[in-house]
Structure 1
């Protein structure tokens, strides 16, 4: 298996029927579904790698004589949100952080035009919504970028108004459970009747802290390893079978 191959929960001796049954157990009695955005719904920076955005953010700081705010490791960090959080820890609620956040929001809005939808997610979203489940987005991305993307895909009505993203208080970014808890409060959702789908350890930790169930989407072995190391038990490498399971369960409930 190459480094780009994907890996699911299925073992070499496990059948597709077993995987389907496990997914049924994961989504059973779920009335609320929280999607992380960048990963499970789309690859936001598909047209321009997130690592390039992180480098531009570091360059932005350097041009203003502020590169010393970051450690050597942070300067090489491929995740722009990690860089943003690092600056916020040293200058919380400052004009600098506000300006950086606005800069990143512009990058996200620009990236919407070239974002790549995650395979099978659109039918999954529409099917889950049609079965009566209430959906929300819980993300570290800017809500305006999420809304613009969903509108382009024709799925905004499945979520609106429940989009809970980055706020001015960057200390509340995941793994803090703030966005998950905001979604739960707004929808009147019981945590144990809620499932979060995420692709990063921070998603899993936020879900755990909020008491909601978690399903990891791992599109490659690296993602799967990181999620498992964080403690995630249930992973899928594609949303295809999940979409089929949700459809079948919804069809069974139909009169």
Structure 2
């Protein structure tokens, strides 16, 4: 077996698995920031994280250790860290609202993920039910989708951050809410996410997972976390759907 052949075999097997995931999905659960858009494309996530830290200092507090393996500059990691130190407090509720306002401001500069809009519309046209399950604010996700004319494709199944921050992914709470609303079995669904948190939530809910990795670094993180199938673009997912429609 040549080195070229050795590379072709796993790629072919993964392509077949991708087709199985896409064609078998009757319900699709999208993460928001990543698979649908880059929310902080022009409104830097790192700058938002710094703004949250500055807000904490204004309250006379220091940021606790992130302690969960999250990278520096992740606003949600800041929120989770404060929640772990002060669970259920007014402080956490106020910080969450500060983050929500930053997310809403970021919507205007958000960059659509290539092929996401037609993918959402095509799946909807095929009769597949869609939901958003995100650790971002549902208000920000709704504002973005409204601006793209996509809200009707997912409403009312838009599940974002709740005051119960321990239920953010990797907890499967949001995914389970969507499945219960549909009366769907986990195996009939597909979760599309771009972080190990998404993968863990899907595993805990029993939902098949497709990793979207815009960069090699994100792909390595997903692979390292155990994701079996990843794509660097949503184009092959859209192509599979369109080919299935042609064949039908």
Q: Is TM-score (shorter-chain normalized) higher than 0.5?
A: yes
Name the CA shift for 1:176/1:148 in 2 (closer, same or farther; >3 Å): same
The reply to whether residue 38 of structure 1 matches residue 60 of structure 2 is no
| CA shift digits 1:128-171 (9 cap, x unpaired) | 11111000000001111111100100111110110001001001
User: What displacement does 1:16 show?
Assistant: 8.2
Question: How many matched pairs?
Answer: 242
Unaligned runs of at least 5 residues, structure 1: 1-10
Name the CA shift for 1:73/1:173 in 2 (closer, same or farther; >3 Å): closer
The reply to whether residue 111 of structure 1 matches residue 106 of structure 2 is yes
* TM-score (ref. length: structure 2): 0.92
The reply to whether residue 78 of structure 1 matches residue 73 of structure 2 is yes
Counterpart Cα distance in 2 of 1:219 and 1:247: 22
Counterpart Cα distance in 2 of 1:76 and 1:54: 11
Partner SS state of residue 154, structure 1: coil
**Structure 1 stretches of 4+ moved >4 Å:** 14-20, 72-76
Counterpart Cα distance in 1 of 2:16 and 2:222: 21
**Counterpart selection for 1:239 from 228, 234, 242:** 234
Unaligned runs of at least 5 residues, structure 2: 1-5
Name the CA shift for 1:14/1:171 in 2 (closer, same or farther; >3 Å): same
User: What displacement does 1:126 show?
Assistant: 0.5
2:117 equivalent in structure 1: 122
User: What displacement does 1:77 show?
Assistant: 2.2
Please say if residues 20 and 245 of structure 1, whose CA atoms lie closer than 8 Å, have aligned partners that are also in contact.
no
User: What displacement does 1:198 show?
Assistant: 0.1
Matches within 5 A, 1:172-183: 172-183=167-178
Counterpart Cα distance in 2 of 1:136 and 1:39: 15
Matches within 5 A, 1:1-255: 12-13=7-8, 20-67=15-62, 69-71=63-65, 77-253=72-248
Counterpart Cα distance in 1 of 2:174 and 2:80: 16
**CA RMSD, aligned part only?**
2.0
Name the CA shift for 1:58/1:31 in 2 (closer, same or farther; >3 Å): same
Q: Which has the higher contact order (CA 8 A, sep 6+)?
A: 1
